[in-house]
């Protein structure tokens, strides 16, 4: 075979080989690469920031007792911290002057009743004489007026007697409920006036703590929110409490009064030093903490909303990811606070979200703990 024949043979072989390679590429199927998914199981809730304020334990109900009448006190044997049962006598006024008023009122009743009886007899006599034509109508009218006056005076005397008896009864001051004396404002045998404070006392088992907070904090709490009260002298563990009052106006410059009521007052006494811990409503809401890398911000779809984003949630049954709309209330420590669209315990993609698509099959890598 000549040189020309050899060249033709080589070309023929090459052409056959190239044709074979082309056919092999045509029948080979292209397989999609399954992407590894870095993800985390969402379980951490967004804790509220905590602020602490010093305070003093005080009773929820503290009552000041006083007499409604004046007089001279008997001996007073009250002490701060003394327990008083409902109905116990707290203090007494010397009843002699009040008893004298009762006696004077009784004498006035006797006198006015006698005058009424005489006026009644005189009126009957005058009416009889009028029928006989012995006296004029004017005499009867005068007798009737005297009778009415005597009757009114007798009624007034009866009322004064009743009041005198009431005042005598008020000479004894009794406890309206069971409690503990917090202060004593009088001494034995002193002269007192109506309304003058005798003692203050409070019911046991109901305590609260009051303090002031800045305006910014007042806007992040609400009546009914939970709180904790630390009373080291009573117990090392915090006592549960609830906000019962928030002042609507500042008691000081940019400072609002707040009161929390303790749920459990065991071993607590009024006057103990305390520290109140408040959990603030950061960004107005609570939610689940998700790494910022998990967020796929909306763009170009005409559906942007303030606080709205998308995330990819992994389905353990189908081993795919699904896009999910969520609402973000804020950012805390490089993590988003999601308040809507996500449930605790779900698995969320936290890396490469820009390369994912809805329904994409993925290979789940070992879960990453939140915060890593």
Domains and CATH numbers, the chain: 36-46+286-364 (2.40.420.20), 51-58+204-283 (2.40.30.170), 64-94+172-202 (2.40.50.100), 96-169 (1.10.287)
| pLDDT at residue 328 in the model | 84
Burial class from Cβ neighbours inside 10 Å (0-12, 13-18, 19+) for residue 249 reads: exposed
Query: How far apart, in Å, are the Cα atoms of 324 and each of 37, 296, 347, 362?
Result: 16, 10, 12, 16
Contact criterion met (CB below 8 Å) for 150 and 115? yes
Q: Which residue has the tokens 């045509």?
A: 26
* Closest by Cα among 83, 128, 11, 38 to 366: 38
Among candidates 98, 90, 108, which has minimal Cα distance to 71? 98
Structure token pair of residue 161: 């007697």
Tens-level pLDDT at each residue, the chain (372 residues): 454 454 345 444 444 444 444 444 444 455 667 889 999 998 766 666 788 999 999 998 888 999 999 999 999 989 988 998 999 999 999 999 899 999 999 999 999 999 999 999 999 999 998 888 888 999 889 999 999 999 999 999 999 999 999 999 999 999 988 888 988 999 999 999 999 999 998 888 789 999 999 888 888 888 999 999 998 765 678 899 999 999 877 666 678 999 999 987 777 888 889 999 998 875 545 678 888 899 986 544 433 444 788 999 999 999 999 999 998 877 777 788 888 889 888 999 999 998 999 999 999 999 988 754
The 8 Å CB, 24+ separation contacts for 260-263 are: 260/208, 260/209, 260/227, 260/229, 261/60, 261/206, 261/207, 261/208, 262/57, 262/206, 262/207, 262/208, 262/209, 262/229, 263/239
Question: 209: part of which helix (H) or strand (E)?
Answer: strand 207-214
Distance CA 314, CA 346 (A): 8
Q: What is the CA radius of gyration of the chain?
A: 46
- The three-state secondary structure class of 316 is coil
Q: How many CA atoms lie within 13 A of 82 on its CB side?
A: 15
The answer to whether residues 313 and 348 touch, using CB atoms and an 8 Å cutoff, is yes
Confidence (pLDDT) at 372: 47
pLDDT value for 300: 40
The pLDDT value recorded for residue 267 is 79
């Amino acid at each position: 075979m000549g040189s020309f024949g050899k060249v033709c043979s080589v070309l023929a072989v090459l052409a056959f080989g190239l044709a074979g390679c082309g056919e092999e590429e045509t029948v080979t199927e292209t397989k999609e690469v399954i992407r590894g998914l870095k993800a985390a199981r969402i379980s951490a809730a967004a804790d509220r920031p905590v602020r602490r304020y010093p305070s003093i334990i005080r009773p929820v109900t503290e009552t000041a007792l006083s007499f409604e009448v004046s007089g001279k006190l008997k001996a007073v044997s009250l002490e701060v911290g003394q327990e008083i049962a409902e109905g116990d006598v707290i203090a007494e006024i010397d009843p002699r002057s009040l008893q004298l008023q009762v006696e004077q009122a009784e004498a006035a009743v006797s006198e006015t009743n006698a005058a009424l009886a005489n006026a009644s007899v005189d009126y009957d006599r005058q009416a009889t004489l009028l029928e006989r034509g012995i006296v004029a109508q004017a005499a009867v009218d005068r007798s009737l007026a005297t009778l009415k006056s005597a009757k009114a005076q007798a009624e007034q005397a009866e009322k004064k007697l009743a009041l005198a008896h009431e005042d005598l009864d008020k000479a004894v001051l009794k406890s309206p409920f069971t409690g503990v004396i917090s202060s004593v404002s009088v001494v034995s045998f002193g002269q007192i006036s109506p309304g003058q404070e005798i003692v203050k006392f409070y019911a046991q088992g109901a305590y609260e703590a009051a303090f002031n907070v800045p305006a910014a904090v007042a806007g992040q709490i609400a009546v009914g929110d939970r709180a904790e009260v630390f009373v080291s002298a009573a117990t090392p563990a915090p006592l549960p409490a609830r906000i019962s009052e928030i002042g609507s106006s500042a008691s000081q410059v940019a400072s609002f009064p707040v009161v929390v009521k303790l749920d459990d007052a065991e071993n607590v006494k009024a006057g103990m030093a305390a520290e109140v811990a408040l959990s603030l409503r950061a960004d107005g809401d609570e939610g689940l903490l998700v790494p910022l890398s998990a967020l796929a911000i909306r763009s170009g779809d005409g559906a942007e909303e303030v606080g709205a984003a998308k995330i990819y949630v992994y389905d353990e049954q189908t081993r795919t990811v699904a896009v999910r709309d969520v609402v973000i209330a804020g950012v805390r420590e490089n993590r988003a606070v999601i308040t809507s669209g996500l449930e605790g315990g779900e698995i969320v993609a936290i890396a490469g979200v820009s390369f994912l698509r809805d329904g994409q099959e993925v290979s789940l890598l070992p879960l990453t703990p939140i915060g890593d």
